Amino acid sequence: MKQCINGAIAFIALLTLSACQSVSDQWLSSGLQGANATVAYWLNSAEQHRLSPEQLKQLPGAAVYAKLGDNATATMVLSEIEQTPDYTVKRWVTQNEALVTRNGRVIRTQGLTTNRIYTAKQETDPLGCWQQNVNRSKHPCPALWRSVADVQNNQGRVERMHSAHQLSWQQRTEVTTPLRGAIPTRVLAEEVSLLTHHGNTTTTQHWVNRYWISISDGTVVRSEQQLTPHADDRIVISEARY
């Protein structure tokens, strides 16, 4: 009888323990469910600055180098990708920052001092068309794109920007990448005119974005883009691991 009771106590203790385990798991879960191997690897890595080619080889997935203004270069890993015949959206992350690109254009940022939180009229953005026609001397792609974007400053306030983008081909050149070597590209220049309304006054700013587009597959290997009206928010993104 005593043995039986002892057995019962042990069984009950086991049941209690297993029930507690299922409860504590809810709280211990780090939220990494569904993350792909790259992100999981990356979030557990101590080193998140510019990785060497040897270190890049250790990464399980794609990565880019990103340098914002005078800040140090960061290596960002691909966390999500959405591909359709018309566009490719990629989400690049570090532990604290994120960039979302559509056909290589930065359409949203997170975790920076000033963030682009919304880009409108993406469906009429001709950048993807220019990429697909990188090898043609004549192409059907519109040269002008008008868009609207919202930018959020470090106090959380949002400003709306109206922009006009004029695209044109420039020279052909090679871009050196850490793992794939020199890649022949064609440079697409984008002259941006930005209108910002401050009460009754309107200011205009101009700058040039550049995209180095691979001649072999039309991907953007490197780009220089200004994300907000502030010249400090100019970002250089280049292929680290394809």
Partner 1 sequence: MSSRVQWVIVVLALSSLLQIKHAVAEQKTPLSAAIVITGDNATLQALQFYGEPRLHDLITRVPNAHQMYWRSARLCTPELQNKLELKRKALIVQLNLLAGIYQRNDKPALSQQAQLLKQQIQQWPLLATIQHGIEPDNLLGTPRDNWRLNPRYSHYSLVISDAPEGTHDVGLSHEMSEGERFEVDQSGKVTPITSENAWQLMLQPGSHVFTGFARSQLPAGFSDINHRAVELLRYWQPGKALKQPSSPCQA
Contacting positions for partner 1 (CB under 8 A): 1-2, 5, 8-9, 12, 15-16, 18-20, 22-23, 26, 29-35, 39, 43, 79, 82, 89, 91, 93-100, 102, 107-108, 110-111, 117-118, 120, 122-123, 148, 150, 152, 156-160, 198-199
149 or 167, CB closer to partner 1? Answer: 149
Burial 90-128 (b: 16+ CB within 10 A, else e): bbbbbeebbbbbbbbbbbbbeebebbbeebbebeebbbb
d(CA 48, CA 43): 9
Closest CB 16 distance from partner 1, rounded Å: 5
Closest CB 139 distance from partner 1, rounded Å: 25
84 or 137, CB closer to partner 1? Answer: 84
Closest CB 117 distance from partner 1, rounded Å: 6
CA 82 from centroid of its chain's CA atoms: 12
Are 223 and 213 spatial neighbours (Cβ–Cβ below 8 Å)?
no
43 or 129, CB closer to partner 1? Answer: 43
d(CA 71, CA 96): 14
Residue 152: phi, psi to the nearest 5?
A: -110, 125
Closest CB 222 distance from partner 1, rounded Å: 22
2 or 138, CB closer to partner 1? Answer: 2
Residue 16: phi, psi to the nearest 5?
A: -60, -45
Are 98 and 82 spatial neighbours (Cβ–Cβ below 8 Å)?
no
75 or 177, CB closer to partner 1? Answer: 75
d(CA 102, CA 100): 7
96 or 170, CB closer to partner 1? Answer: 96
Closest CB 17 distance from partner 1, rounded Å: 9
Closest CB 93 distance from partner 1, rounded Å: 5
Closest CB 119 distance from partner 1, rounded Å: 8
d(CA 91, CA 71): 20
Q: Where are the beta strands (DSSP E) in the chain?
A: 63-68, 74-83, 88-93, 98-102, 105-110, 115-119, 144-152, 158-177, 181-198, 201-214, 220-226, 234-241
d(CA 59, CA 85): 28
18 or 204, CB closer to partner 1? Answer: 18
